[in-house]
């Protein structure tokens, strides 16, 4: 059964390097000849967010059917962009999330002056987030897609997440 507070707890711990599930291995930067390169890009408020692909993860939980993409910044600071889909059916599709209390959607976390600042859809008065799975290859364990949307913090600040693109291997967890 899904606990609505588990994702918020995960948002709290992820910036500190703790991932509360069985898989903690990142995406390997090593590529074999002819393999599709691992890529991920996104802009935050119109500025490029430089993604550390090797420190980012894409996981598919086979029990809860959650697909979670976590992109970490290369700057050494604790900045993350998270795109999550609940009830992922292992098929390409465009997911438009308008319900602000849905766990599906986008999340953004940054550390400012040693304080973790979390942005999430439920703090916004309105708006939609979009996650588009363009290709799901279960045999190669690879997913390609795009995402965008607006997230807010509890003090009225909004963050625009745009130009999100990824082509990454995924790891299956239980």
pLDDT in tens, 115-151: 888 999 888 877 789 999 999 999 999 999 999 999 9
Residue 27 lies in a domain: no
Tokens found for residue 34 = 């002819």
Query: Based on the structure, what is the number of domains in the chain?
Result: 1
Residue 12 lies in a domain: no
Residue 18 lies in a domain: no
Residue 137 lies in a domain: yes
Residue 52 lies in a domain: yes
CA distance 6 to 128: 22
pLDDT in tens, 64-120: 999 999 999 876 567 899 999 999 999 999 999 988 788 898 999 988 788 888 999
Q: Judge if pTM exceeds 0.75.
A: yes
Residue 87 lies in a domain: yes
Structural domain of 124: 47-173
Determine the average pLDDT of the residues in 13-33. 40
């Amino acid at each position: 059964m899904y606990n609505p507070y588990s994702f918020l707890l995960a948002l709290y711990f992820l910036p500190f390097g703790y991932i509360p599930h069985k898989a903690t291995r990142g995406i390997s930067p090593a590529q074999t000849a002819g393999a599709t390169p691992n890529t991920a890009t996104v802009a935050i408020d119109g500025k490029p967010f430089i993604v550390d692909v090797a420190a980012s993860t894409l996981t598919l939980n086979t029990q809860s059917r959650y697909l979670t993409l976590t992109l970490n910044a290369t700057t050494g600071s604790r900045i993350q962009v998270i795109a999550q889909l609940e009830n992922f059916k292992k098929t390409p599709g465009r997911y438009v999330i308008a319900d602000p209390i849905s766990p599906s959607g986008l999340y953004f976390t940054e550390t400012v002056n040693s304080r973790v600042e979390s942005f999430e859809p439920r703090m916004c008065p309105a708006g939609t987030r979009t996650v588009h799975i363009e290709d799901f290859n279960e045999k190669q364990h690879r997913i390609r897609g795009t995402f965008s949307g607006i997230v807010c913090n509890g003090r009225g600040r909004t963050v625009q997440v745009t130009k999100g693109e990824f082509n990454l291997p995924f790891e299956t967890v239980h």
